[in-house]
Structure 1
Amino acid sequence: MAQTLEHLSRKNNTLTSIRGIVHTMKTLSAINAAPYEQAAQSIEAYHQTILQGFAAFIYRTGGASLLTEATQPNKRLLVAFGSDHGLCGNYNELLADTVTEYSKNQPMVKQHILCIGSRMSNALLEQKLTPDVVLMPPASADGIGRLAGDIVMHIERLGRGQPLANLVVTLIYTQRAKHGYQESVTRALLPLDKSLLQPERRWHSRSLPDYSMAADALLSSLVRNHVFASVFRASAEAMVTENATRLALMQQAEQSVDEQLEEVQQEMSNVRQDEITNELMDIVIGHLA
């Protein structure tokens, strides 16, 4: 059925408005990703300093024995970094699938879930998983430190009075993959990786490491900063990936709208040409009559 010029004109205006919105969202996604990327790089440099502190501590003390080993952890905390914003596809649903799959393959111990974002919470509820705590994602790169501090506080509250080895903390988030895709990452945070507690065979500098704090206090500070930096890094990477995902989807949407606009404008041109032709024919026929 042929469409009228008026109908095509309204459709053209609607598509033009949609394209403007899509273009704005694409631009915002590209702009928002940059500060999160910088935050991720900065915390990575800080984390390397913390890891050097671990190496120095172990080199001087052989401090692996300071951590009490447990035969079986009695608590598990999953921290899922989801999104609270739309236009990023099935971002939260894919992450919820990863959380569900991970939970099925773990020993039967008391599990707690801390999730970031109300949409992530809804995705987990659909998987029959109920979060214990729901935190809001950062509105900007400045908010990552606030979020990381809140998560560290919940970890400390959950593990208070127990050896580190009795608490399992796992970070589940998305990171960028090749060709613009995203992938879910499951990273063990606690208990500490044994590689952190292996003494260096040979120190990399002529100046041997030393410290003046009590060993327990220093180790506690190193562990806390390691946890904070790891959580901060996961949050920043999740936000970069979210914006990258939204950017890719907006690019696809923009291309689709452009194709529809081209079709509508071509049809408008054809309809306008037909109307002009009909009017000319009416004039010619009227003149001949």
Structure 2
Amino acid sequence: MAQTLEHLSRKNDTLTSIRGIVHTMKTLSAINAAPYEQAAQSIESYHQTILQGLASFVYRTGGVSVLSEALQPNTQLLVVFGSDHGLCGNYNELLANKVVAYSEAVPMAKQHILCIGSRMGNALLEQDLSPDVVLMPPASADGVGRLAGDIVTRIERLGSGQALTNLAVTLVFTQRQEHGYQETVTRNLLPLDKSLLQPEQLWQSRSLPDYTMNSEALLAALIRNHVFASVFRASAEAMVTENATRLSLMQQAEQSVDEQLESVQQELSSVRQDEITNELMDIVIGHFA
């Protein structure tokens, strides 16, 4: 059924408006991702310094046995970095599925979920998982540090000062892969990975490490900063990936709108030409009648 000129004009205006919105969202996603990516790169350099300090501590004190002989934790904390905004496809649903699979594979007597993002919280509820706390994602790169500090404080509070022996902490987030792909990952944060407790593999300088402050205080500071840097990195990476996902979807949407817009404009041009032709024929026929 042929569409009228008025209907096609309204459709053209609507598609043009939608294209402007999609283009704006695409631009914002590209702009927003850059600061988070810079934050992720910066914390990575800081984290390497912390790991080097931990390696020197273990090398100097021979504290491997103290850390590696920790009891099996009986409490698990899953920190899930999701989204609080839409237009990013099934981003939160994939994370929720990952949480379910991990919980079933690594069961604990007590399980707590710290969720970042209200939409992520809803996705977990749909999987019959109830988050203990739902925090808001950072609104800018400056907020990543505040969020990481808040999460570290909650981890310490839940561990009651014995996080190494009683508490297992796992980060669940989405990270980028090659060729624009992404994947949901789980990263065990506590207890400390045994690879961090092998000084002969980590300490490579010919100078022997040493320190002057209290060993317990130093160890506590190193572990806290290791946890902070890991959480910061996961949060920044999650924000980069979320914006990259939204950017990819907006590019697809823009292409789809452009195709529809081109089709409508061609049809609109054809209808206009037909109306002009009909009006000219009426004039000609009326003149010779």
Q: TM-score range by the shorter chain?
A: over 0.9
Residues 1:144 and 2:144 aligned together = yes
Instruction: Name the counterpart of 1:43.
Output: 43
Work out the CA distance in 1 between the residues paired with 2:178 and 2:248: 13
Instruction: Name the counterpart of 1:209.
Output: 209
Contact 1:73–1:109, Cα closer than 8 Å, also in 2: no
What amino acid is aligned across from residue 261 of structure 1 in structure 2? Answer: L
SS at match of 2:200: coil
Work out the CA distance in 2 between the residues paired with 1:28 and 1:89: 17
Instruction: Name the counterpart of 2:129.
Output: 129
| Map 1:1-289 → 2, pairs under 5 A | 1-67=1-67, 69-162=69-162, 164-200=164-200, 203-289=203-289
TM-score when normalising by structure 2: 0.97
Residue 88 to residue 199, structure 1, CA distance change in 2 (3 Å): same
Task: Kindly provide the CA deviation profile for residues 115-138 of structure 1, in whole angstroms up to 9, marking residues without a partner as x.
Answer: 001110000000000000111000
Aligned-pair identity in percent equals: 82
Structure 1: runs of 5 or more not aligned: none
What amino acid is aligned across from residue 32 of structure 2 in structure 1? Answer: N
Residue 163 to residue 125, structure 1, CA distance change in 2 (3 Å): closer
Work out the CA distance in 2 between the residues paired with 1:180 and 1:229: 25
Which runs of 4 or more aligned residues in structure 1 lie more than 4 Å from their structure 2 counterparts after TM superposition?
A: none
What amino acid is aligned across from residue 91 of structure 1 in structure 2? Answer: Y
Work out the CA distance in 2 between the residues paired with 1:259 and 1:57: 62
Contact 1:96–1:123, Cα closer than 8 Å, also in 2: yes
Task: Kindly provide the CA deviation profile for residues 196-225 of structure 1, in whole angstroms up to 9, marking residues without a partner as x.
Answer: 111226843333211001111111110000
User: Displacement, 1:42?
Assistant: 0.2
User: Displacement, 1:163?
Assistant: 5.3
User: Displacement, 1:8?
Assistant: 0.8
SS at match of 2:171: strand
Structure 2: runs of 5 or more not aligned: none
SS at match of 2:170: strand
User: Displacement, 1:65?
Assistant: 2.5
Work out the CA distance in 2 between the residues paired with 1:236 and 1:125: 24
What amino acid is aligned across from residue 114 of structure 2 in structure 1? Answer: L
Task: Kindly provide the CA deviation profile for residues 252-287 of structure 1, in whole angstroms up to 9, marking residues without a partner as x.
Answer: 010001001100100001000110111111112112
What amino acid is aligned across from residue 204 of structure 1 in structure 2? Answer: Q
Contact 1:19–1:258, Cα closer than 8 Å, also in 2: yes
Residue 197 to residue 156, structure 1, CA distance change in 2 (3 Å): same
SS at match of 1:67: helix
Work out the CA distance in 1 between the residues paired with 2:56 and 2:40: 24
